[in-house]
Amino acid sequence: MNEIASHRFEELKAGGMLPSPSGAAQKVLELTARPNASIRAIALFVQRDPAMAGRILRYANAGHYNLRPVVSVPQAITFLGLFRVRQIVLGFSLIDQYRTGVCSAFDYAGYWTSSLASGIAARRLASLAHSPPDESFSCGLLAGIGRLAFATAFPEEYAAVLSQGLSGEALAKEERAQFGIDSAHLSAEMLESWGLPEVFTVAVRDHEQPAATSAAPGTRAHALCATLHFAAKIGNLLNLDEAQRWKQVPSLFNAAAKLGIEESEVPPLVDEIVADWQDWARQFELPMRTYSDLRSLLAAPPAGSAEGAGPNPGLALLRVALIVNDHERLESLIRALTGLGLRVIRWSGPTEAQGILQDDLPDLAIVDTGGVEDDAVAQVHRLRNATRNALYIIALIPAAAEARFSQLMRAGAADYLPYDFTETAIIVRLSNAQRVVALQVAVRAERELAVTSSSEWARSNRRLLKDALTDVLTKLPNRRYGVDRFAQEWSIASSNTRPISCLMLDIDHFKRVNDAHGHDVGDIVLQQVAAMIEKCCRGSDIVFRYGGEEFCVICPGAALNEAIQLGERIAAAVRDGRYGVDENKFAVTLSIGIAVRTQNMHEPDELFRAADQALLAAKEGGRNRVYTAKPKGAYILSDSKARSDTTPALIV
């Protein structure tokens, strides 16, 4: 499927049919893609567009990195890094450019409402998958961009697809039939073409059906896929009315538990995301609503769907599938049902329901059985089995067959509607169906909530995620995660000819710490030094425990001078601190080796080895200093000040 999807994507791309940024945003994308791109030149261009400049500043200050406020565009670009600025500008420009369109059945405002909320949610949840917040935001924002692409490239054809009321795998199947690719694969292909690494495109491709992802459990791609799935559910909630949200909330808790988020943590998390979303929605002039507390939604159906709330309570919320071959009867039913505000789906027969997941099933089906003969009974029975007894079935029958309807009931039909139905007859049947469906939803919600509210299950999942990607002692990402992220950033740097630096850091004489103070204090020192290293780094830097008392920092976009400055800053901050416990705290120093990717390096391991060799030279040179792997000498940090040593200490 991937090769077919890639081929189809290239056809659409070559035809210029896909959404793309234009104007100022396109210029920024071109500038950031150049190997000799200057932050100053990009900042000058961004500042010509006050809206773009304001959004970049706002985004940089919304990073929750506990750093000083970012007050200028050059500072924001430096802080975020060119690659992240590129993705942020891309996403924001698409919102501006495609907030309306000609596809009559596509809700453009609703699409961006959900997408923006999903992006904000993915950014807040990024730590669960140990993924960069900014890439997570881009993935959440653009995970559904394939749907916008279909609405842009094929407005009439996609309107016809959307008018069928399909969702989930049924919608994906119809998209593949009509366009040769489904929206999830198209989204992944578009993100890949915009430079996002494979780990993100795999997660985007599979996030709608995370159970079927090709990513192995315990990997970052698997965790990111689950994170995007949860983020998308939050985004979807914000685009539904209150009654629809009540129906969807239980599955939200289910997705949260898979990420290790306990029941009590979900409502405040969603409240924070909604607050952020409302601020950003104002910036983009997207429609906003107020939302009731999730706990009240779980406690009982919203007022609008309760009995007695109106003449046809809740009917407009029902989704009805029709299996009717007679064209005249089918059109008559469609007119009657849509006139009552119901959403109608056309099914060719019971087999079409077999690939539908239970969560995506309509609320009821009206099936033209033609009577109560053996074939009619078998048809109802097949439909009942295909939908796993979860569908309310109304048999459409001739008046002469009413007396023998009990045979269809035994096969699984819940009610019948005569061929010569009246509007009153339809309302009576649908009202009965609505009460039963509401009860079934409540029962399913209660059952699902009983599972998802299990704190132990959530804690177990959280432990699995942390064990897979986090160093238990220091709480930093572990070596497995760091090597994976490094490979990703190496790929980005290679494809964009951007610099990338590696710092290897080792606590000096750490064995003496353990011998003199004990291993418990040694563990505390490791935690304290790890926190200091992380505090000194940029938001885009990748900090992880390499092993023992050794740490590693990967700096995407950092050339030699920037890496040296970071190494100096870390070494000085660690040297100036005091470590251990209570009144027995003591000084600690670091030896640091730095290497920067060169044209002669073809694999990430080569950069690791060069930085490790520089670290070894720093330790042999007396420790408490910074060495760089550069041809003409080494850069040394002395006890009192930084100085350049003209004596070659390491040549690579």
- Note whether residue 450 is domain-resident: yes
Same domain flag for 349 and 489: no
Instruction: Choose among 205, 216, 213, 211: nearest CA to 172.
Output: 205
- Is the per-residue pLDDT at 582 higher than 90? no
Q: How far separated are the first and last CA of the chain, in Å rounded?
A: 45
- Note whether residue 307 is domain-resident: no
Same domain flag for 262 and 376: no
* Predicted confidence band of residue 243 (pLDDT cuts 50, 70, 90): low
Same domain flag for 622 and 492: yes
- Note whether residue 597 is domain-resident: yes
* Predicted confidence band of residue 182 (pLDDT cuts 50, 70, 90): very high
Query: Cα angle at 496 between 48 and 554, to 5 degrees?
Result: 100
- Average pLDDT for the chain: 80
Q: What is residue 286's predicted lDDT score, i.e. its pLDDT? A: 81
- Note whether residue 626 is domain-resident: yes
Same domain flag for 31 and 169: no
Residues in the chain: 652
For 299, half-sphere exposure in the C-beta direction (CA atoms, 13 angstrom radius) is 6
Instruction: Choose among 390, 322, 315: nearest CA to 352.
Output: 322
Residues 6+ apart with CB under 8 A from 638: 624, 625
Q: Is 130 left (phi over 0), alpha (psi -120 to 50) or beta?
A: left
Q: What is residue 638's predicted lDDT score, i.e. its pLDDT? A: 42
Cα gap 400→556, rounded to integer Å: 76
The residue ranges of DSSP E strands in 521-585, in sequence order, are 542-547, 550-556
- Note whether residue 306 is domain-resident: no
Residues 6+ apart with CB under 8 A from 30: none
Same domain flag for 464 and 474: no
- Note whether residue 577 is domain-resident: yes
Q: What is residue 642's predicted lDDT score, i.e. its pLDDT? A: 41
Written as one string, the DSSP assignment of 377-431 is HHHHHHHHHHTTT-SEEEEEE-GGGGGGTHHHHHHT--EEEETT--HHHHHHHHH
Q: State what percent of residues in the chain have pLDDT above 90.
A: 30
Question: Exposed (0-12), middle (13-18) or buried (19+): which is 6, by Cβ within 10 Å?
Answer: middle
Residue 67 vs residue 375, higher pLDDT: 375
Helix, strand, coil distribution of the chain in percent, nearest 5: 60, 10, 30
Query: Max alpha carbon distance in the chain (Å)?
Result: 104
Q: Is 554 helix (H, G, I), strand (E, B) or coil?
A: strand
Q: What is residue 457's predicted lDDT score, i.e. its pLDDT? A: 53
- Is the per-residue pLDDT at 508 higher than 90? yes
Same domain flag for 3 and 69: no
Cα gap 168→154, rounded to integer Å: 20
Same domain flag for 86 and 118: no
* Predicted confidence band of residue 643 (pLDDT cuts 50, 70, 90): very low
Give mean pLDDT, residues 12-26: 76
Give tens-digit pLDDT for 370-401: 877 888 888 888 888 777 677 889 999 998 88
Residue 118 contacts residue 235 (beta carbons within 8 Å): yes
Cα gap 451→434, rounded to integer Å: 26
Domain total of the chain = 4
Q: What are phi and psi of 586, to 5 degrees?
A: -145, 170
Q: Is 470 helix (H, G, I), strand (E, B) or coil?
A: strand
Give mean pLDDT, residues 542-563: 93
Give the residue from 77, 97, 117 where a domain finishes.
97
Cα gap 233→240, rounded to integer Å: 11
Three-state SS annotation for 151-218: HHHCHHHHHHHHCCCCCHHHHHHHHHHHHCCCHHHHHHHHHHHCCCCHHHHHHHHHCCCHHHCCCCCC
Q: How is residue 161 written in tokens?
A: 């697809």
Same domain flag for 489 and 578: yes
Strands 343-346 and 634-637: unpaired
- Note whether residue 651 is domain-resident: no
Which domain CATH number covers 353?
A: 3.40.50.2300
Q: What is residue 121's predicted lDDT score, i.e. its pLDDT? A: 93
Which domain CATH number covers 592?
A: 3.30.70.270
Where is 5: in which H helix or E strand? helix 2-14
Residues 6+ apart with CB under 8 A from 167: 360
Residues 6+ apart with CB under 8 A from 150: 103, 157, 158, 161, 175, 179, 183, 186
Give the residue from 65, 97, 129 where a domain finishes.
97
Cα gap 187→6, rounded to integer Å: 11
Q: How is residue 176 written in tokens?
A: 């593949």
Which domain CATH number covers 170?
A: 1.10.3210.10
- Is the per-residue pLDDT at 225 higher than 50? yes
Same domain flag for 452 and 548: no
Q: What is residue 645's predicted lDDT score, i.e. its pLDDT? A: 40
Q: Domain range for residue 28? A: 20-97
Q: What is residue 301's predicted lDDT score, i.e. its pLDDT? A: 45
How many helices and strands (H and E) does the chain possess? 27, 12
Q: State what percent of residues in the chain have pLDDT above 70.
A: 82
Strands 343-346 and 364-368: unpaired
- Note whether residue 114 is domain-resident: yes
Q: Is 533 helix (H, G, I), strand (E, B) or coil?
A: helix
Give the residue from 62, 97, 132 where a domain finishes.
97
Cα gap 401→405, rounded to integer Å: 7
Cα gap 271→267, rounded to integer Å: 6
Residue 588 contacts residue 507 (beta carbons within 8 Å): yes
In which residue are the tokens 């009805």 written? 320
Residue 534 contacts residue 543 (beta carbons within 8 Å): yes
Same domain flag for 252 and 147: yes
Three-state SS annotation for 569-628: HHHHHHHHCCECCHHHCECCCEEEEEEECCCCCCCHHHHHHHHHHHHHHHHHCCCCCEEE
Residue 65 vs residue 218, higher pLDDT: 218
Cα gap 623→554, rounded to integer Å: 21
Same domain flag for 92 and 124: no
Question: Exposed (0-12), middle (13-18) or buried (19+): which is 449, by Cβ within 10 Å?
Answer: middle
Give tens-digit pLDDT for 280-337: 888 788 877 666 555 555 444 444 444 434 445 456 668 898 999 888 999 999 988 8
Q: Is 635 helix (H, G, I), strand (E, B) or coil?
A: strand
Letter string b/e over residues 201-230, b meaning 16 or more CB atoms within 10 A of that residue's CB:
bbbbbbbbebeebebeeebbbbbbbbbbbb
Same domain flag for 82 and 221: no
Q: How is residue 288 written in tokens?
A: 């906003």
